[in-house]
Structure 1
Amino acid sequence: MLELSNVDSFYGNIQALYDVNLHIDRGEIVTLIGANGAGKSTTLMTVCGVVQARNGSVVYQDEEITKVAPNQIVAKGVCQVPEGRLIFPELTVQENLDMGAFMRSDKEGIARDMEYCYDLFPILAERRKQPGGNLSGGEQQMLAIGRALMARPKLLLLDEPSMGLAPLVVKQIFEIIKKVNAESGTTIFLVEQNANLALKIGHRGYVMENGRIVLTDSCDKLLADEQVKKAYLGL
């Protein structure tokens, strides 16, 4: 579904990604782990077109999207839940979800997907008339994921969904990520510092250091890898 080949990305004159190669197959959960500043978020931004690769290529469903505008990439079925959630705090929960469907015109489908989001996140149904800014951090993360699902993505990009959340909420969020993948077949590219949790729900994983992919394998094998244990799992 997605392939990055020899990708270099920059912020001005500062290089953030070096010769990145990775692929994601349809229906997978693929996780990208690494330390803060390793280049994980830049990888997602490059897929989305917010940061354009200076060298190499990004191919989505056999179409090169390296130089395609971000809004056109969203229209093709790629949707990101950004780091820090970035909901619209003054809009209600329901209005935030509506914003996720702004490129759609199928009213019946939008209504069904809204109910699906409320089934996934019952707390959002209870608070549908409240401003998003009044929600807790965990509830805002649920809202950000729900908003992305309202776009009916084929490829869902999740950037640090556990950031700043209590362990019980993190566990709930990750269970829902697994459920969305299993029930709808949505392909998921998960960037996460909580390597232990990410590798437990993923199918395959990549390890990034200083803008480079340094290791890749099945998540089971990465969990058992001594180098990964020492560097990322605290074992």
Structure 2
Amino acid sequence: MLEVNGISTYYGNIQALHDVSLKVDEGEIITLIGANGAGKTTTLLSISGITQPKHGEILFRGEPVHRAKPERLVKDGLVQVPEGRHIFPYLTVAENLDLGAFLRKDKDRIRKDLEHVYDLFPRLAERRHQQGGTLSGGEQQMLAISRALMARPKLLLLDEPSLGLAPIIVQQIFEIIEKLNKEDGMTIFLVEQNANLALKIAHRGYVMETGRITLEDKAEKLLSNEDVRKAYLGI
């Protein structure tokens, strides 16, 4: 579904990514782990068209998209949930979800997807008329994910969904991510500092250090890799 081939991305004269290559097959959960500042978010921003790479190419469903605008990618089914959630705080839960479907015209399907989102996150259904900014951090993360789901993603990019959340909420969020993959068949690219949780639900994983992919393997093998355990799992 996604191929990233040798991309290098810069912020001004500072190179953030160095010849990064990875792939995501349809139906997989892929995780990208690494320390803070390793380049994980820049990788997602490069894929979603927000920060275009200077070199290399990105193919989404076989088509080159490394020069495409973000709104076109969303319409094509490549949708990102940003780090820090970035919901619209003065709009209600329902209005935030409506904006997730902004590019869609299939009104009947939108209504069904809204029902599905409320089934996944009953707390949002209870708070549908509440302003987004008054929700708890966990509820805002649920809203950010749900807003992305309203765009009907074929590939869902998740950037640090556990950031700043209580452990019990993190567990709930990860159970939903796994459910979206197993029951809805959604392909997911997960960037996450909580390497232990991410690798437990992923099929394959990549390790990033200072803007470079340094290791890739099946998730269970990365979980048992001694270097990964020492560096990222605290073991």
Bin for the TM-score computed over the shorter chain: over 0.9
Q: Which runs of 4+ in 1 moved over 3 A?
A: none
Q: Distance in 1 between the 2:60 and 2:223 partners? A: 28
Superposition TM-score, scaled by structure 1 size: 0.99
- C-alpha deviation, 1:91, in angstroms: 0.4
**One-letter code aligned to 2:98:** D
Which residue number in structure 2 is paired with residue 125 of structure 1? 125
**One-letter code aligned to 1:201:** I
Which residue number in structure 2 is paired with residue 8 of structure 1? 8
Which residue number in structure 2 is paired with residue 38 of structure 1? 38
Which residue number in structure 2 is paired with residue 148 of structure 1? 148
**One-letter code aligned to 2:12:** G
- C-alpha deviation, 1:7, in angstroms: 0.6
Kindly report which structure 2 residues correspond to 1:147-166, keeping only aligned pairs within 5 A, or say none: 147-166=147-166
Which residue number in structure 1 is paired with residue 199 of structure 2? 199
- Give me the CA root mean square deviation: 0.5
Which residue number in structure 2 is paired with residue 175 of structure 1? 175
Kindly report which structure 2 residues correspond to 1:40-119, keeping only aligned pairs within 5 A, or say none: 40-119=40-119
**One-letter code aligned to 1:41:** T
Which residue number in structure 2 is paired with residue 20 of structure 1? 20
Q: Distance in 2 between the 1:113 and 1:74 partners? A: 16
- C-alpha deviation, 1:214, in angstroms: 0.2
- C-alpha deviation, 1:73, in angstroms: 1.0
- C-alpha deviation, 1:163, in angstroms: 0.2
Q: Structure 1 regions of 5+ residues with no counterpart?
A: none
Equivalent residue of 2:30, what SS? strand
Q: Distance in 2 between the 1:52 and 1:30 partners? A: 21
Q: Distance in 2 between the 1:194 and 1:39 partners? A: 15
Q: Distance in 1 between the 2:11 and 2:58 partners? A: 18
Q: Structure 2 regions of 5+ residues with no counterpart?
A: none
Equivalent residue of 2:153, what SS? coil
Q: Distance in 2 between the 1:169 and 1:69 partners? A: 33
Equivalent residue of 2:86, what SS? coil
Does 1:184 find its partner at 2:189?
no
Q: Distance in 1 between the 2:25 and 2:219 partners? A: 15
- C-alpha deviation, 1:105, in angstroms: 1.1
Cα shift readout 1:167-213 (whole Å, capped 9, x = no counterpart)? 00000000000001111111100000000000000000000000000
**One-letter code aligned to 2:104:** R
Superposition TM-score, scaled by structure 2 size: 0.99
Cα shift readout 1:109-137 (whole Å, capped 9, x = no counterpart)? 00100000000000000000000011000
Instruction: Say how many residue pairs are matched.
Output: 235
Equivalent residue of 1:184, what SS? coil
